[in-house]
Amino acid sequence: MTTEDNSTNTNTNNNKTLKKLLLVVLAMFGFGFALVPLYDVFCDITGLNGKTNTSAAIYDANGVDKSRTVRVQFITRNAQGVPWKFEPIVNEVDVHPGEMQFVSFYAKNNGTHDIVGQAVPSVSPGQAANYFHKIECFCFTHQPLGAGMDVEMSLQFYVDLELPADIKTLTLSYTLYDITEKSS
């Protein structure tokens, strides 16, 4: 009978639609995870979250712009439960764009255990991140520090000549994490 034909037709159609929709569900589940690398790429391009370069940059500034001065401030904080004293030796420096600068940070492990630390930098305002180039930074590597030991850690950087004119101060903030478990 035709009704039976109709109902088998409907069933085949239903299964087809069901399969298509299940594919969409899978694709969107994948998309959720794809957002992770996409977010990194997006932030890299736009400097959205103030992330700076994670490996050494090469100095290639075309001279120094003496007509401009930019103030670079340094702040540090420890993630919860990291028993280190961690602070910049100078709190701020005035630099000309294109000019190479050295600064140092001091760290001392006041805890009773050996700890591997990892400092994660971030620049504020976020859009300045792409114009702040680190040539050498302790944040590129892990910082193992025995109980009671201290260390002076260096940072070498320059500010890009192309830094937008409205940015007169930028703040480099380091957050120190305990990654002993992860690095072992």
Contacts (CB under 8 A) with other proteins, residues 68-87: 79-80
Please answer whether residues 57 and 134 qualify as being in contact, where contact means their C-beta atoms are separated by less than 8 angstroms: yes
| Shortest Å, Cβ 79 to other proteins | 7
Task: Assess 31 for contact with other proteins (CB under 8 A).
Answer: yes
Contacting range for other proteins; rule: CB under 8 A; set: 38-46, 98-106, 144-152, 156-164: 38-46
Residue 80: CB atoms within 10 Å: 6
Side-chain half-sphere CA neighbours of 64 within 13 A: 9
Give the one residue of 64, 151, 161, 179 binding other proteins; rule: CB under 8 A: 179
- 25 scored as a contact of other proteins (CB under 8 A): yes
Asked if 29 interacts with other proteins (CB under 8 A), we say yes
Rounded to a whole number of angstroms, the minimum distance from the CB of residue 121 to other proteins is 10
Q: Which of 182, 146, 177, 152 is nearest to 82 (CA)?
A: 177
The tokens of 184 are what? 């072992």
| Closest approach of other proteins to the CB of residue 122, in Å | 8
Over the window 123 to 142, marking each residue x when it contacts other proteins by CB under 8 A and - when it does not, the resulting string is: -x-xx---------------
